[in-house]
Structure formats: C-alpha cells, structure tokens
C-alpha cells in the first residue's frame, strides 16, 4: 500500500494492538490492525422464505475498530446485526463473537455486547430510573452502582431532570439518549449501533461522536450502521458497503476514495450501488404529488 507511513504497536489490557497508519493531511488514519479479532463472520447466508437476504458475507472486525456498516435499504444490514446478536436463527455460515461461536457457546458473550436498535422498544410506562435499573439488573449489576452510573450519565446527556419521569413523556431525542445510556450501562466490549443519531440534536451528535472515538481508543469495538454518510465518513476507521446481501466494498474512507475516485462517501455510495437517477425520481415524485 503506497501511502502506508508507519506501524504503531501498543498494549491495551495486555493485548497487543498493532496499527498501520497513513496520513490524510494532518489526520492519521488506521487502515489495518493485527489486533485481536472481535467479530469473525464466514460465509453468512440468510433467507426469509424464497428471498435470499445475505448471500455469503465474510468479515473480520478487529478490537478497537469503528466499522461503518452501510448499504441501501433492504441490503441486509439489520439482518446481519440481528444474527450476530442471536435474535435471528436459521442462518448458514459461522459467526464468532469475542472468540465464541454464537451457535455453540453459552450466552455469556451477550453480556459483553451493547446494542442500540434502529427502532427500540422501551417500556414507556416506566421512568428512566426504573428502566435503567431493570436493564442493569439483567446484566447482573449492583443496584447502587446502576443508580449512580445512570444518574451521572443522564446528567451528562442533559436529561437528568427527567430521571423520575415516565419515558412516555420524553421527546424522541430524549428517548434515544436513554437507549444509548442503557446500551452502555454495563461497559460492553462491543457495541452495535443502528442509526444511533436518530432524533439527537447537533450538540448531542458531537458528544456521541466523541464518546465513540474514545471508546474505540480504549479497545472497544464499534459496529455502526447508518444512512448518514457524512457521519459514517468521519467516525469510521473502516467502511463496509453491503449491497443486495453481499459486501461490495471494504476499506478506510481514503481507500474507497482511491479506488472509486469520487469525493464524498455519499458519492462513492451512489457510484458503487449504481444509483444515479435521484433527480429523475424526484421529478417523477413531485409530478405525481402535483397530479400532472
Ligand atoms: N423477519 C423477516 N421476515 C421476512 N423478511 C425480512 C425479515 N427481516 C428482514 N426481511 C427482509 O430482508 C431484507 C433485508 O432487511 P434488513 O432489515 O436487513 O435491511 P437493512 O439493510 O437493514 O435495511 P434498512 O437500511 O432499510 O434498515 C429486506 O428485504 C427485508 O424485507
């Protein structure tokens, strides 16, 4: 790789992390790492009835990486994540998470996972205190520790004043903050985020982006699925583009740019997925709305 500048080795919790860096202007970009594999997927296939949704996905995700998992609607992103989380059965292939085969091993690996689903179901009749205590106890945390941690995280996210209010009274962004807190309460090793910025205001987005960067720097692995391309472009060490159940591209943003010669991730996405008719579709849509 011609732009490779240097290799950096460090130790995190006694695990050797080896990063290969290159530079984009002043910015350092991790392009590969010989660190521990956090998630390994081999020939993953999934069908719903006659519809083949995943057609043989292969993937190694390393500890400390932020992976942006992108793709058009219906590409199979959520299906991949739900299989990894053990929420969908009937798949073919192999998934190893944090060194455990999810089809064979006990469920203890689940306690190391944090998950922010695209559409989270929360018990709206509960208060945040009740909900976070419930979630924390499911993870085996001590009640006082949960309460201390939950109170502080709610305050940092500026929703401390509604800790004892019913979740039903929260705005969309407040609920999203609560879901993010509940996914991190047990300090997971790997985090799956499906559109985590849903409803968050610009300031909160900045805070969350910073948090994700810090967690990754501490060796947490982050699997981030979103359609907001400029955020994926900025936060991801590595971007994986899934199209029609297959990986179409896999690399750092810089690598994708070199291969595809387009400016932004949005443009690369459009080019790779062969989508260039947005103006025609918009015209047709407006014409139908106007009844012409
Ligand atoms: N439980 C299910 N039963 C039948 N079909 C399903 C089921 N879950 C997902 N699918 C289908 O699988 C395909 C992939 O869905 P999936 O939710 O994984 O896509 P996605 O890439 O996450 O899309 P989006 O960006 O819209 O969230 C879609 O065609 C969807 O209709």
**pLDDT tens digits, one per residue of 198-217:** 889 989 999 999 999 999 99
Closest ligand 1 atom, CA of 195? Answer: 27
Alpha-carbon span 256 to 50, nearest angstrom: 33
Alpha-carbon span 285 to 276, nearest angstrom: 16
Domain ranges of the chain: 35-284
CA 77 / ligand 1 centre spacing (Å): 8
Q: What is the pLDDT at residue 77? A: 94
| Cα angle: 206, vertex 212, 215; to 5 degrees | 140
Residue with CA nearest ligand 1 atom 5? 48
The domain made up of 35-284 has a fold known as: Rossmann fold (3.40.50)
Does position 181 have pLDDT exceeding 50, yes or no?
yes
Q: What is the pLDDT at residue 149? A: 93
CB 221 within 8 A of CB 68: no
Q: Which of 71, 74, 119 to mutate to test the pocket of ligand 1 (most atoms within 8 A of CB)?
A: 74
State the pTM of this model. Answer: 0.83
Helices 143-156 & 172-184 angle (0-180, nearest 10): 140
The tokens for 234 are: 């900025």
């Amino acid at each position: 790789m011609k732009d490779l500048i240097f290799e950096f080795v460090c130790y995190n919790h006694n695990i050797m992390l080896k990063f290969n860096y290159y530079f984009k202007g002043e910015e350092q970009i991790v392009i590969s790492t010989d660190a521990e594999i956090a998630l390994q997927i081999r020939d993953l296939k999934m069908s719903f009835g006659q519809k083949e949704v995943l057609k043989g996905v292969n993937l190694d995700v390393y500890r400390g990486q932020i992976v942006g998992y992108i793709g058009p609607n219906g590409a199979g992103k959520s299906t991949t994540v739900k299989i990894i989380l053990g929420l969908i059965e009937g798949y073919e292939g192999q998934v190893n998470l944090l060194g455990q085969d999810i089809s064979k091993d006990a469920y203890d690996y689940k306690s190391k996972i944090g998950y922010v689903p695209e559409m989270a179901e929360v018990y709206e009749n509960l208060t945040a205190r009740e909900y976070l205590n419930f979630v924390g106890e499911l993870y085996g945390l001590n009640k006082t520790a949960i309460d201390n941690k939950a109170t502080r995280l709610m305050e940092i996210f500026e929703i401390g004043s509604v800790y004892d209010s019913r979740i039903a009274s929260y705005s969309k962004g407040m609920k999203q903050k609560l879901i993010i807190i509940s996914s991190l309460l047990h300090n997971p090793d790997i985090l799956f985020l499906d559109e985590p910025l849903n409803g968050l205001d610009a300031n909160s987005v900045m805070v969350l982006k910073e948090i994700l960067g810090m967690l990754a720097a501490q060796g947490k692995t982050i699997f981030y699925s979103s359609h907001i391309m400029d955020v994926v472009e900025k936060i991801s060490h590595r971007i994986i583009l899934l199209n029609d159940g297959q990986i179409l591209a896999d690399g750092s943003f810089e690598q994708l740019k070199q291969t595809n010669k387009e400016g932004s991730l949005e443009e690369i996405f459009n080019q790779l997925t062969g989508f260039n008719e947005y103006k025609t579709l918009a015209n047709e849509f407006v014409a139908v709305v106007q009844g012409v």
